[in-house]
Amino acid sequence: MNDSHLIITLEVCQFAVSLYCANMLLLRQRNQRVYVPLALFFVANALLFLPTFIGHLWPGPAAMRIIWPLTISMAPLMFLQPFFFWLFVRGLSAEDGVPLIKNKLLHAIPHVLVAMLVLIFVLFSPAFYVAELSTISQLPIWVLYLAPFGVVMTLLYYAVVGAYLVSVILLLRRYKARVKDLFATTEGRELTWVSWIAFLAALSIVWSFLDLPDSLFGVDMGGSGYEVARFFESMFDLSIIWVIGIWGSRQKPGLSRGEQPKQPITTPQMTEASSKYERSALGAEQAKRIATKIEAAMQKDELYRDPNLSLWDLAQHVSVNSNHVSQTLNATLEKSFFDYVNSWRIKDAAILLQSTSKSILEVTYEVGFNSRSSFYTAFKRELGTTPKAFKTTQSDTKSGAATTA
């Protein structure tokens, strides 16, 4: 099998994977506003292969009368793909439902422009593929003016992809900070894979720029070397689509409250106080009282040992509005909810490792961590050493004290 056959095989695989992932996402019953954009992303990706498949199944000049306008007509789908992926990431990182899109006109501008360019191509480009190369110079001057539109469309596409990549990165940064404000454990909520997709998409744009002489002007980039490059590009594209399909279909909205109550149980007096604080900054005395309640919940009730503890759980436990709890943690205690709870977990873990014979894994789960890796990371951040080294040091200290005695 030569390189061209391998490329065709990879394209068929990507087409099949895209349709399969789109079907699975559209069948989901929950969070449809989050997953439908990703399904449309895959549908668009599958449709983009139609001109290529027609060319393989029906080779020859006659097929160009169909393939050429069909290829041009598919251009809007390329512009919709980054928009759909951005909508998906926006839905994943949103809190309590997908918000309405602001600045709709700004999102619509590139799509209107590309639609106009496509219309011009479809209406006037037949003169290109019915004319022989030797008579190109005899075409009307207005037809020759169409050539730069391909360059404009390509550069516009890179600009749109770049803009949505920047927006996705900003969404991820805000999301990461917000997760730590709401949850004590972030396993299953990280969107690290999206960051990698954004990084690889940026690399793809760089590669596309290197390939611009061939894609825009038909410059020969090196015979068989070009086929090899196309093969690896097809492999890269298939890998990206596969990763997005696997992780995108299993990823749940990270800031969803789930079954958590939206507001803690409060007394009429607390409700009145909450409405007052909604209109003004939380007072210093009120913040101090809330901080005392929070400290008691951790020290006496050991609330931090709940592996699924959230800000709403803590707010309900201390009977305080969740916004006020968050404000107290950040302004008075000067820690995010994530860092605050995990600092208590590490304090407890250090005591258990020092005073008991429990294994590190037993301590990990007892103090509220869901995984060994997150425990090690938090322990090293808080105490500057690993749990194993800490336990060994404490054992050596005890042995030395016993020998001295």
pLDDT digits (tens, 9 = 90+) for 196-245: 999 988 888 877 766 665 555 554 444 555 667 778 888 888 999 999 99
Residue 143: per-residue pLDDT:
53
The answer to which of 112-116, 135-139, 382-386 has the lowest mean pLDDT is 135-139
Residue 152: per-residue pLDDT:
79
- Residue % of the chain over a pLDDT of 90: 48
Q: What is the mean pLDDT of residues 260-284?
A: 47
Q: What is the mean pLDDT of residues 365-392?
A: 93
Helix axes 75-92, 147-182, angle to 10 degrees: 10
Query: Comparing 221 with 189, which gets the higher pLDDT?
Result: 189
3-state secondary structure of 183: strand
The answer to which of 110-114, 390-394, 397-401 has the lowest mean pLDDT is 397-401
Q: What's the pLDDT band for 57 if we cut at 50, 70, 90?
A: confident
Calculate the dihedral angle through the C-alpha atoms of 116, 118, 119, 120, rounding to the nearest 10 degrees.
90
Cβ–Cβ under 8 Å, residues 297 and 303? yes
d(CA 287, CA 276) in angstroms, rounded, equals 14
Q: What is the mean pLDDT of residues 381-392?
A: 92
Residue 73: per-residue pLDDT:
84
3-state secondary structure of 107: helix
Residue 275: per-residue pLDDT:
43
Instruction: For residue 281, give the DSSP letter.
Output: P
- Tell whether the model's pLDDT for residue 47 goes beyond 90: yes
Q: What's the pLDDT band for 319 if we cut at 50, 70, 90?
A: very high
- Tell whether the model's pLDDT for residue 260 goes beyond 50: no
Q: What is the pTM of this model?
A: 0.82
Residue 26: per-residue pLDDT:
93
- Tell whether the model's pLDDT for residue 403 goes beyond 60: no
Query: Comparing 278 with 304, which gets the higher pLDDT?
Result: 304
Q: What's the pLDDT band for 400 if we cut at 50, 70, 90?
A: low
Residue 271: per-residue pLDDT:
42
- Tell whether the model's pLDDT for residue 139 goes beyond 60: no
d(CA 255, CA 272) in angstroms, rounded, equals 27
- Tell whether the model's pLDDT for residue 393 goes beyond 50: yes
Closest CA to 37 of 95, 96, 101: 101
Query: Comparing 212 with 25, which gets the higher pLDDT?
Result: 25
Q: How many residues does the chain have?
A: 405
Q: Which residue has the tokens 């149980």?
A: 265
Q: What's the pLDDT band for 61 if we cut at 50, 70, 90?
A: low
Q: What is the mean pLDDT of residues 312-322?
A: 93
Closest CA to 310 of 100, 34, 96: 96
Instruction: For residue 332, give the DSSP letter.
Output: I
